Structure 1
Amino acid sequence: MYSLRILIVEDEPLIAVTIETALKKQGFTVIGDAENHEEAIQAIQGQKPDLVLLDIKLAGEKDGIDLAIDLDARNIPYLFLTSQTDPHTIDRVKQTHPLGFIVKPFTEAGLRSNIELAWHKLSTTKDDFLLFKSEGETYKLNQKEILYLKAFDNYCFVVTKDHKYLVPKTLKHTSQGLNPTHFVKPHRSYTVNLRRVSKITSDSLLIEDTLIPLSSANRESIKERLSTA
């Protein structure tokens, strides 16, 4: 398989070394390790890992679940490393979207199989992604999450249910990275995700609580597209 570039986030140095040794023996690439939330964010921004192995219990005010929420926002896959199974921890974990869990203590073979199975599942079920920069950060966004794009002079906005990213590229340029099966222009200033349209009228589309203008020239073709979106 592709040699995944893995970041280890673990506050116990001996365990971190053990994990790194095991991963390297199994053919993975370890790009570094971090002991806390701040170090992990710096390493992620600088190294761009494919996958993060993330201990739930970390040194500092923010733990692994806090970091997991940040990773979800950045669309970076991760696996939890944990020995914590108390109800409070489990309830907080439900707010996150890990690829899975590796329970301590673990074997070298178990570590590898958990990583390979999780990555295979991601690779076979993931949708298209849109890669873009916004405010100095690079994002890899699952296109299913995108509601619409909106032109803003020579920039555009990429809008999801929870975020609004300002992208320093035109709508036309940014839209070229979208899957044309699911995205269409109802109006010269918008590109919309047909899967997120809940209503169509004579002059608009409804996505969540936002009305998107619909030109008369595009109405019939989009109505037809919506029937198969």
Structure 2
Amino acid sequence: MSEFKKLHDGSKLLHLPNAWDAGSARLFESLGASAIATTSAGVAWAQGYADNDHLPVDSAIVVAANIARVLTVPLSVDFENGYSSDAQQVARNVLRLIDVGVAGINLEDGNDAPSLLADKIRAIKQLGREIFVNIRTDVYLKGLAPEGERVAEVLKRAALYKEAGADGLFVPGICQVAEIKQVVAGAGLPVNVMDWPGLPPAQELHALGVARLSAGSGIPQALWSVAAGMAQGFIDSGNAGPLIAKAMPYGDLQALFLKP
């Protein structure tokens, strides 16, 4: 069993701060993260693209390779839909991630048919290479089923994805305790949730049997907002504002990347 897969054994809740480049990944590792995941939105924005499959796959792989280069903990990459509707091409794309040192991926169904995602999972598993395939279902995030029917739809999809070989189930947007309990009990896979308004605290999530908690795109969104405010102040007045006093010291940042 891979080191990354062991982190999903339920002995403690796996907290995954979502990085968007090598620098943020190395920073989060230095703060004690036991693994790093990426946010596809944050990666896309940092590369000058919109989220939702607009980032060229070659760029996604270059970013992943650069992040893997600076880490000593496992890296999981948010790989959107695999950047193709062809299952075999998705597998070839994932093989490139494995070859640069990626330990896991998120792969999402979005508005695609669940059967297509199941085909992609099977194609990846047929590679015969070790990678943790965490499947994101957007039933809650995109309202793919009416309220009251979402747990049933998630579990229906989970059964299909598990049969295809999925290693984990990611249900962003779920936050009600009763619904989380039902998904954890019925999925048959380690369950991943995302920081979301109304989500129970981490300790309670662990007690409910959740294996993994993701930060999502919240951290880069907050930093973009702070950067925008500081830059606007500088453009308008030549002063970046009081937040500059909270900047990390140059030497501390340098130390993250200098080899001892």
Give TM-score scaled by structure 1 length: 0.32
Q: Which structure has the greater CA radius of gyration?
A: 1
Q: Which has the higher strand share?
A: 1
Give TM-score scaled by structure 2 length: 0.29
**Comparing both chains, which one has the higher relative contact order based on Cα–Cα distances under 8 Å and sequence gaps of 6 or more?**
2
